[in-house]
């Protein structure tokens, strides 16, 4: 067999590489990146993340922040670091926080998010500093009603206590009373928060979405309908860096870096094999 | 009979549609009260829809098990999965936590549902890598533009990419972040805005067809 024929055979085999080999390559690469993180240097924080950080930072003490935590276990690796960092920041600045969700599968994650974020601040008390609202299936109805009467739709918290009587809700009767709302989601729910709630009732709205959804919200950011946006694991890592408390977002960024470059390397490798095969 | 089957549903749909549309532009308290009432109705209807959907799912999967049609074993797991969550939910009265302790519902959520969902999603990474290798072929200038944009965005978004960009493409005098910023705020936003406007016009047209009774699919085949 000539060199040319051997090269052709090799390139042909590259073009139809056994997928189990690719699976093994991904497993090894991610395994190493997660277990032995190379601690790559952090890049500057995204401008839209900085806007969210500055909003929380500059709110007067005891402000009320409404958080829509529509995360589920599938998107939690991207969204949970963002939400945790933002909640910790809110607790650090002594703001009041109410967490709600419109996705049934978010129940456990929202509860965990609130519990873990509050754990670092033992002085914070449920009902006085933070509260978890119960699941509502119809977000459109809930957002519409919250605009005129918060307690018309949420009469109790998730534990069955009368919401209106809790100190955390002091001075809040409708959405316009909220100082800032932040929506964490992997769906198009944030669009509905913009059109059904913030545009209509006039309050500041920011978001935290998966990296795939991030380009979707460019128009809202340019018009100011969204005050800021955290995108993907990088958004969470940026917020943690701004907060000076690197956590799961920053830790996951190394794996994300390497996984992204592995994807690019695979594309280049497959195409290089194809081009070389044409030349031979 | 045609009155109840055809005209009454259209009248209800048109009436509610018109009134809801008008309330958006009316500051009168009656408009707010109507919306509040409609919101409560909507939530109640959603709750009924859940029950209806659940019953429908049970009937369908019970039928598959009874007939032992192809894949009936999966239907058994539908019931197992349901009861793994439903029974703990009843026992713990829907609460995931009892103080700081996980209830049985919290346990099933964290160690069954959450673990399964995370596993399912993680598996995607492997399939995506395989698909990228096998299917992303740069055969035209359009795919070349797509590949280059992807490369630049990844390079600009992750620290390792910025590091490589600075080492290899320093001579261009352009920062990776600037290129990404331009890509995300000019072509991406322009495309997205066009899609949003198109969808909005489509939604307005579809809503008007419903309100004026021109769209009747919701009443069934007739």
For chain A, the structural domain boundaries read: 47-255
Mean pLDDT of A71-78: 87
Q: Which of B12-16, B69-73, B84-88, B216-220 has the least mean pLDDT?
A: B216-220
Question: CB–CB of B97 and A111 under 8 A?
Answer: yes
Closest CA relative to residue A62, chosen from A176, A147, A182, A170? A170
What residue in A sits closest to B154 (Cα-Cα)? A260
Using alpha carbons only, what angle is made at residue B107 by residues A127 and A122, rounded to the nearest 5 degrees? Answer: 35
- The answer on pLDDT for B222 being more than 60 is no
- The answer on pLDDT for B103 being more than 80 is yes
Q: Which of residues 39-98 of B touch A (CB under 8 A)?
A: 39-40, 42-43, 46-47, 50, 95-97
Give the pLDDT confidence score for residue A82 in this predicted structure: 95
Nearest neighbour of B96 by CB, restricted to A76, A108, A138: A108
Give the pLDDT confidence score for residue A156 in this predicted structure: 92
- The answer on pLDDT for A92 being more than 90 is yes
Contacts of A136 in chain B (CB under 8 A): 43
- The answer on pLDDT for B168 being more than 70 is yes
Contacts of A72 in chain B (CB under 8 A): 117
Contact A77, B119 (CB under 8 A): no
Share of chain A above pLDDT 70, in %: 100
Q: Is A1 helix (H, G, I), strand (E, B) or coil?
A: coil
Mean pLDDT in chain A?
89
Task: State pLDDT tens for residues A203-257.
Answer: 999 999 998 898 899 999 999 999 999 998 889 999 999 998 888 777 788 888 8
Give the pLDDT confidence score for residue A165 in this predicted structure: 94
Q: Which two tokens mark B137?
A: 């072929």
**Which burial class, exposed, middle or buried, applies to A163 when counting CB atoms under 10 A from its CB (0-12, 13-18, 19+)?**
buried
What is the topology classification, in CATH, of domain A47-255?
Rossmann fold (3.40.50)
Mean pLDDT of B87-93: 88
What residue in B sits closest to A154 (Cα-Cα)? B40
Mean pLDDT in chain B?
86
Give the pLDDT confidence score for residue B203 in this predicted structure: 93
Give the pLDDT confidence score for residue A40 in this predicted structure: 74
Give the pLDDT confidence score for residue B221 in this predicted structure: 59
What does the alpha-carbon distance between residue A215 and residue A212 come to, in Å, rounded to a whole number?
Answer: 7
Q: Is B28 on the interface with A (CB under 8 A)?
A: no
Q: Is the ipTM value over 0.90, yes or no?
A: no
């Amino acid at each position: 067999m000539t060199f040319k024929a051997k090269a052709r055979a090799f390139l042909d085999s590259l073009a139809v590489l056994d997928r189990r080999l690719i699976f093994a390559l991904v497993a090894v690469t991610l395994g190493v990146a997660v277990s032995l993180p190379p601690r790559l240097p952090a890049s500057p924080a995204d401008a839209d993340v900085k806007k969210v950080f500055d909003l929380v930072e500059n709110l007067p003490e005891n402000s009320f922040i409404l958080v829509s935590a529509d995360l589920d276990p599938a998107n939690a690796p991207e969204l949970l670091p963002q939400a945790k960092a933002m909640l910790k920041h809110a607790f650090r600045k002594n703001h009041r926080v109410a967490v709600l969700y419109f996705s049934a599968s978010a129940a456990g994650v929202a509860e965990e998010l609130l519990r873990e974020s509050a754990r670092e601040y033992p002085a914070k008390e449920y009902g006085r500093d933070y509260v978890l609202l119960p699941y509502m299936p119809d977000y459109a109805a809930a957002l519409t009603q919250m605009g005129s009467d918060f307690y018309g739709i949420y009469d109790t918290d998730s534990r069955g206590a009368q919401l209106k009587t809790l100190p955390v809700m002091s001075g809040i009767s409708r959405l316009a009373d909220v100082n800032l709302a932040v929506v964490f989601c992997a769906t198009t729910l944030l669009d509905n928060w913009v059109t059904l709630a913030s545009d209509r009732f006039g309050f500041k709205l920011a978001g935290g979405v998966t990296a795939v959804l991030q380009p979707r919200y460019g128009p809202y950011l340019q018009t100011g309908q969204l005050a800021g946006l955290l995108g993907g694991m990088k958004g969470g890592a940026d917020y943690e860096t701004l907060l000076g408390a690197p956590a799961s977002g920053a830790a996951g960024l190394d794996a994300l870096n390497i996984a992204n470059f592995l994807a690019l390397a695979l594309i280049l490798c497959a195409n290089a094999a194809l081009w070389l095969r044409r030349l031979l | 009979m045609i009155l109840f089957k055809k005209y009454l549903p259209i009248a209800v749909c048109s009436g509610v549609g018109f009134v809801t549309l008008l309330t958006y532009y009316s500051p009168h308290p009656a408009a707010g009260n109507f919306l509040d009432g409609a919101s409560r109705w909507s939530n109640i209807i959603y709750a009924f829809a859940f029950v209806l959907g659940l019953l429908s799912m049970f009937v369908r999967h019970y039928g598959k098990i009874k007939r032992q049609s192809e894949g009936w074993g999966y239907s058994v797991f539908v019931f197992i999965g349901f009861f793994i969550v439903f029974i703990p939910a009843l026992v713990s009265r829907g609460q995931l936590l009892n103080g700081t302790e996980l209830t049985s519902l919290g346990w099933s959520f964290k160690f069954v549902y959450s673990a399964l969902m995370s596993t399912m999603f993680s598996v995607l990474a492997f399939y995506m890598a395989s698909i990228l290798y096998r299917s992303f072929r740069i055969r035209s200038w359009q795919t070349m533009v797509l590949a280059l944009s992807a490369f630049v965005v990844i390079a600009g978004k992750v620290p390792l990419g910025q590091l490589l960009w600075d080492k290899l493409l320093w001579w261009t005098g352009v920062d990776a972040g600037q290129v990404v910023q331009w890509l995300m705020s000019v072509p991406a936003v322009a495309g997205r805005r066009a899609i949003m406007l198109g969808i909005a016009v489509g939604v307005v047209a579809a809503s008007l067809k419903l309100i004026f009774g021109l769209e009747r699919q919701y009443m069934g085949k007739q």
